């Protein structure tokens, strides 16, 4: 039998480098591909950052003895990810560009391209797992495999939240070599193999930003939509000023100028105000504290179910949801589909603060481990 051909997305980081090394060791015919994506002007960003990442990926491929290619997706990335990010914040939403990038770039444009080139698999350094089974199902196709997306063993690094848009067809052609490993093990392997990426630091969450804080990026690119306005409490009383609605997220504590400070009443005890919602029409930031900042019920649109054939059965089982990466997996008390509006309405067991329109809500179910069954976009 000929070797199975796999492309590994080499970002220039330690995770993808070790993923490639593991696949070479397992006997796959491996090719490394680095994606050239859009980022801000190099004079704003740390000079040479992208060049350094590409060079690290190239040196890793050279050491492993595998072919190396660079795909230029900069314009596509700018159009589909960066411009979406800017428009969403301008519209008062809180987008998740990493979820969208995984859907449209890594497991969209890259996946489609390498499959058309004849490769059997696409592999990445994501911390998650794929399990295949042949269920005793009602499927019309005998011995049909069903693929399940599970959380990574390292719960501090688990990235399954970002991948809820994957499909059964894609999961059959994906490899996640790090899913069973802890990050400490991965770093140790990189050092033992003397990979050029062994000591590279963790990448920042949003790769195209010049700073860790997204707000300066917004101020540089959508200044016309960042208009100062009033901060009001739940009763509509004006209590301060904000710098511009795109600079705030639901659940954010403070960050705005309260009227008591304007009047130099510094001795007055100010309650811990949180952003409750954005009144786009009146350019007002609505804030509150305590129970008024928390909600139990919210809507989800643009859903994807990893196994659409089992959607109805899944919805009838106990489900959990995660409303932000790094957040807790929350118990769902009740859920129901609105077929006409193509929405799912979720009722949580306990009220939560910071459920932000535009963010992803990802559905999990508990089997032997946490399994991602689907997700969508929050529309409170």
CATH number, domain containing residue 268: 2.30.30.280
Per-residue pLDDT tens over the stretch 210-237: 888 999 999 999 999 999 999 999 999 9
Q: Is residue 315 part of a domain?
A: yes
Look at 4-8, 120-124, 268-272, 348-352 and tell me which has the smallest mean pLDDT: 268-272
Looking at the structure, tell me whether residues 353 and 309 fall in a common domain: yes
Following CA atoms 270, 274, 276, 278 in sequence, which dihedral angle do they give, to the nearest 10 degrees?
90
At 29, the pLDDT band (50, 70, 90 cuts) reads very high
Catalytic residue (choose from 39, 98, 101, 128): 101
- What's 327's domain CATH number? 2.40.30.10
Catalytic-role residue among 39, 98, 128, 207: 207
Determine, yes or no, domain membership for 143: no
Lookup: tokens for 167: 């499909």
Domain span at residue 270 reads 227-288
Using the 3D structure, point to which of 273, 288, 303 is the last residue of a domain. 288
Identify the pLDDT of residue 190: 97
pLDDT of residue 3: 78
Instruction: Provide mean pLDDT across the span 364-376.
Output: 93
What pLDDT does residue 309 have? 81
Q: What pLDDT, on the 0 to 100 scale, is given for residue 177? A: 98
Q: Is 101 a catalytic residue?
A: yes
Q: Are residues 237 and 364 in the same domain?
A: no
Structure confidence at residue 339 (pLDDT): 73
Question: What would the pLDDT profile of 167-181 be if each residue is shown by its tens digit?
Answer: 999 999 999 999 999
Give Cβ neighbours of residue 103 (< 8 Å, ≥ 6 apart).
165
Residue 279 lies in a domain: yes
pLDDT the model gives residue 262: 46
Residue with the larger pLDDT of the pair 241 and 380: 241
Residue 61 has, within 13 A of its CA and on its CB side, a CA count of 23
**Length of the chain in terms of residues written:** 380
What's the pLDDT at 202?
A: 82
For the cut 80, the answer to whether the pLDDT of residue 64 exceeds it is yes
Judgement on whether residues 283 and 298 belong to the same structural domain of the protein: no
Spatial distance between the Cα atoms of 293 and 250, rounded to a whole number of angstroms: 9
Residue 142, Ramachandran bin (φ over 0: left; ψ between -120 and 50: alpha; else beta): beta
What pLDDT score was predicted for residue 1?
Answer: 44
* Angstrom distance (rounded) from CA 349 to CA 52: 47
How large is the angle between the packed helices 14-25 and 49-64, nearest 10 degrees? 20
- Token pair 């391209």: residue: 113
Asked if residue 334 and residue 318 are part of one domain, the reply reads yes
The confidence score (pLDDT) of residue 260 equals 59
**How far apart are alpha carbons 297 and 333 in whole angstroms?**
10
Residue 87 lies in a domain: yes
Residues 273 and 318 in one domain: no
144 located within any domain: no
Whether residues 267 and 347 share a domain: the answer is no
Confidence of residue 258 (pLDDT cuts 50, 70, 90): confident
pLDDT in tens, 69-121: 999 999 999 999 999 999 999 999 999 999 999 999 999 999 999 999 999 99
Quick: pLDDT tens for 294-321: 999 999 999 999 998 876 666 667 899 9
Q: Indicate whether 340 pLDDT > 80.
A: no
- Pick 268 or 134 by higher pLDDT: 134
Overall domain count for the chain:
3
| pLDDT at residue number 176 | 98
**207 counts as catalytic:** yes
- The CATH number covering residue 91 comes to 3.40.50.620
Evaluate if residue 48 carries a pLDDT over 50.
no
Residues 181 and 38 in one domain: yes
Global confidence as pTM: 0.91
Q: What gap in Å lies between CA 140 and CA 162, rounded to an integer? A: 31
Q: What mean pLDDT is predicted for residues 10-37?
A: 97
Residues 264 and 334 occupy one common structural domain: no
Q: Residue 141: pLDDT above 70?
A: no
- Same domain for 98 and 35? yes
> What is the average per-residue pLDDT within 8-18?
97
Q: In this structure, are 261 and 356 located in the same domain?
A: no
- pLDDT given at position 138: 57
Whole-number average pLDDT of the chain: 90
Same domain, 12 and 85: yes
Whether residues 238 and 117 fall in one domain: no
């Amino acid at each position: 039998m000929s070797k199975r051909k796999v492309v590994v997305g080499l970002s220039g980081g330690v995770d993808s480098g070790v993923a490639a090394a593991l696949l070479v060791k397992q006997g796959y015919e491996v090719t490394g591909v680095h994606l050239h994506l859009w980022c801000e002007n190099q004079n704003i960003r740390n000079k040479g950052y992208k060049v350094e990442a590409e060079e690290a990926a190239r040196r890793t491929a050279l050491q492993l003895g595998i072919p190396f290619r660079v795909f230029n997706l900069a314009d596509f990335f700018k159009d589909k990810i960066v411009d979406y990010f800017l428009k969403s914040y301008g519209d008062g939403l809180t987008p998740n560009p990493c979820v969208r990038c995984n859907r449209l770039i890594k497991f969209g444009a890259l996946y489609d391209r390498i499959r058309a080139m004849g490769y059997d698999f696409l592999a990445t350094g994501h911390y998650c797992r794929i399990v295949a089974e042949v269920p005793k199902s009602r499927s019309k196709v005998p011995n049909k495999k069903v693929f399940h997306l599970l959380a990574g063993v390292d719960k501090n690094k688990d990235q399954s939240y970002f991948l809820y848009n994957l499909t059964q067809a894609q999961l059959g052609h994906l490899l996640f070599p790090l899913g069973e490993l802890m990050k400490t093990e991965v770093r140790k392997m990189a050092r033992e193999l003397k990979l050029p990426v062994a000591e590279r630091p963790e990448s920042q969450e949003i790769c195209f930003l010049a700073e860790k804080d997204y707000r300066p990026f917004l101020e540089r690119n959508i200044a016309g939509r960042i208009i100062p306005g009033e901060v009001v409490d739940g009763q509509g009383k004006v209590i301060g000023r904000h710098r511009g609605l795109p600079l705030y997220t639901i659940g954010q504590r403070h960050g705005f100028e309260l009227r008591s400070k304007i009047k130099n009443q510094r001795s007055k005890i100010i309650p811990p105000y949180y952003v409750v919602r954005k009144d786009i029409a009146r350019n007002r930031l609505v804030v509150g504290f305590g129970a008024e900042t928390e909600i139990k019920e919210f809507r989800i649109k643009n859903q994807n179910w990893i196994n659409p054939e089992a959607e109805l059965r899944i919805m009838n089982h106990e489900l959990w949801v995660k409303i932000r990466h790094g957040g807790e997996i929350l118990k769902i008390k009740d859920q129901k589909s609105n077929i006409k509006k193509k929405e799912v309405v979720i009722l949580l067991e306990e009220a939560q603060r910071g459920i932000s329109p535009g963010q992803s809500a990802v559905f999990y179910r508990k089997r032997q481990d946490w399994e991602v069954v689907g997700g969508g976009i929050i529309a409170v």
